[in-house]
């Protein structure tokens, strides 16, 4: 039993060390990406005159890049593009609903909003003077 605990402890420690090592090895790739983000990569498709320009940061200053923090921008469609995708714009006004779906179903009250009323005294109902939804008073 003691030997089994020792083996289990050794295997657990080994797995912990291996997972720590894998974390260190796979974490190194982000440093290379970070270094490459400090150079502006030239884009031959858009502007061939740009060159890679490395830059350095002053000591104690934070790395303030706004590459991933762009404001959302809108876009415009040409009338032809609007027709191609079936986009129609109209002024909002009051008009009947164009599409009505008819289906069969059952309307049930919410279980928490329904009450079962019973009499404390046994008896017989001979007449009903109120309808569903009528306001009633004690007496």
pLDDT tens, residue by residue, 92-134: 888 887 788 889 999 888 888 888 888 788 888 888 888 888 8
How far is residue 86's CA from residue 108's CA, in Å, rounded to a whole number? 40
Average pLDDT over residues 44-49: 40
Three-state SS for 87?
A: coil
Assign 13 a pLDDT band (cuts: 50, 70, 90): very high
Cα 136 to the chain's mean position, in Å? 49
Cα 134 to the chain's mean position, in Å? 46
Out of 6-10, 14-18, 41-45, least confident range: 41-45
Question: What does pLDDT average to over the chain?
Answer: 75
């Amino acid at each position: 039993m003691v030997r089994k605990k020792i083996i289990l402890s050794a295997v657990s420690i080994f797995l912990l060390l291996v997972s720590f090592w894998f974390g260190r090895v796979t974490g190194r790739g982000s440093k290379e990406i970070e270094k490459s983000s400090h150079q502006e990569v030239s884009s031959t498709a858009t502007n061939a005159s740009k060159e890679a320009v490395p830059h350095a940061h002053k000591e104690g200053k934070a790395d303030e890049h706004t590459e991933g923090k762009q404001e959302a921008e809108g876009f415009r469609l040409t009338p032809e593009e609007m027709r191609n995708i079936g986009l129609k714009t109209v002024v909002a006004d009051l008009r009947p609903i164009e599409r009505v779906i008819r289906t069969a179903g059952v309307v049930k009250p919410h279980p928490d909003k329904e009450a079962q009323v019973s009499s404390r005294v046994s008896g017989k109902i001979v007449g009903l003077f109120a309808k569903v939804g009528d306001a009633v008073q004690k007496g």
